[in-house]
Structure 1
Amino acid sequence: MNAHDREPAIAADLVGRRLDTRTPVAPEVAFAWRRTRTSQGRTRVEGLADEVGWSRKRLSARFRSQLGITPKRAARLVRFDHAARLLAAGHAVAGVAAESGYADQSPLHREVRSFTGLTPTAIATAPWLAIDDIAWPASSASR
């Protein structure tokens, strides 16, 4: 299995911990989370709402109340996590942007800065990526 196939570790851990500590979530919310993960954060909230038969507002409210974050925020985290793993594995920023569903390097740069305060190049070499061989197995051995 390559780095592209692994589930987004940071986002999955965040939501997974929430799922473990709360009452069971609605099947529609669980479905929306699974679709968010499998699409690597590229599924739009409107599309998820349509798939589960709810309005966007209802899905967002239920998702937030049951998982602690909105579906849009969850998608951003999953997409960022995917991009960060690719950067840590040594992929070029332009390619990472395209592979991760960003329009180009600028939105990737803004997202990385928003989540970490760093540039994409800086997170690729950040020491905190090198020490977590569970979340970043492909990059840990090479650092």
Structure 2
Amino acid sequence: MLPGIDMAGFDIRGPVELRAIPHPAITVAVEFGDHPIDIRGATGVMRSEGLAAGLGFHAFQARAEDLTCIQIRLSPLVAHPLLGIPLAELREHVVALDDLWGRGTARLRERLHQARTWRERFAVIGAELSGRLDEGREAEPEVAWVWRQIVASRGRTAVRDLAAGTGWSRQRLWSRFGSQIGLTPKRAAMLVRFDHAVHHLVRGCAPAQVAAAAGYADQSHLAHEVRAFTGATPAVAANEPWLAVDDTAWPTSAGI
């Protein structure tokens, strides 16, 4: 599997309704059980068997009668050469996968439907992504370095220090990072910090403890950013099914 790609499979019987919460990755979902996903968000209503959501997408409501799908999380460093669209165009939007891959999406769904095991399905996705990789579209080394610093520091590295580390001006960093990642460095750092904090709320950590450990000025600052990304209070966000499954579907050992 190519680096910067994580996958999880979901097979849920019966009606499914949940809110998708922003994550510091480009999110791709491919449904292959003949039950399209109804999506309702800030940009309107959409029904599709596959979707791609930009880095830090706006929270949206997803509903399906049954759900059999593979969800893929792509680092923004590999998303452009895999999706075939500049991330500055995708930004925080949610689009139908058909709009990016055309008829290739239907062929991919059929291969997934025919596969007998999750191992086989993940291999199908891996082969699909490898075949779509355009190695001429990687992020510049300076942009990649800044993204990795943001992730490693959990969003707590000052933007001025990031610019100094690249040897670029702040304006050049803002422009190049925004065009290749889809967010400004400041917004990307806010997203990474939020993601780190909200998952510790899900695990039952006290908001005051999370705020202090994640580098927020105080608990009200944490609450403001949780609401900005999810449209909900920290108490509500901590019980979102979309977030609660992450420790199982996307295991991590990160501490606080």
The TM-score, its normalising length taken from structure 1, stands at: 0.82
Correspondence 1:4-43 to 2 at 5 A: 10-13=23-26, 14=55, 16-17=75-76, 19-22=78-81, 23-43=137-157
Amino acid of the structure 2 residue aligned with 1:41:
G
Amino acid of the structure 2 residue aligned with 1:134:
A
Kindly tell me: are residues 98 and 136 of structure 1, through their superposed partners in 2, closer, same or farther at Cα, counting changes over 3 Å? farther
Q: Which runs of 5+ in 1 are unaligned?
A: 1-8, 139-143
Contact 2:177 2:184 in 1 (8 A): yes
Kindly tell me: are residues 81 and 68 of structure 1, through their superposed partners in 2, closer, same or farther at Cα, counting changes over 3 Å? same
Q: What residue in structure 1 maps to residue 29 of structure 2? A: none
Q: Secondary structure at the match of 1:30?
A: helix
Q: Which runs of 5+ in 2 are unaligned?
A: 1-21, 27-54, 56-73, 82-136
* Aligned mates of 2:252, 2:189 — CA distance in 1: 22
The yes-or-no answer on 1:57 pairing with 2:171 is yes
Q: Secondary structure at the match of 1:90?
A: coil
1:11-67 CA distance string (max 9 Å, x none)? 145461563323111111000000000000001111100111111111010001111
What is the aligned residue count?
130
User: More strand per residue: 1 or 2?
Assistant: 2
The yes-or-no answer on 1:121 pairing with 2:209 is no
Please report the RMSD computed on the Cα atoms of aligned residues, expressed in angstroms. Answer: 2.0
Q: What residue in structure 2 maps to residue 94 of structure 1? A: 208
Percent of matched pairs sharing the same residue? 52
Q: What residue in structure 2 maps to residue 3 of structure 1? A: none
Runs of 4+ in 1 over 6 A off after TM superposition: none
The TM-score, its normalising length taken from structure 2, stands at: 0.47
* Aligned mates of 1:43, 1:91 — CA distance in 2: 23
1:101-141 CA distance string (max 9 Å, x none)? 10110110110000001111111122222234334668xxx
User: More helix per residue: 1 or 2?
Assistant: 1
Q: Secondary structure at the match of 1:102?
A: coil
Contact 2:155 2:191 in 1 (8 A): yes
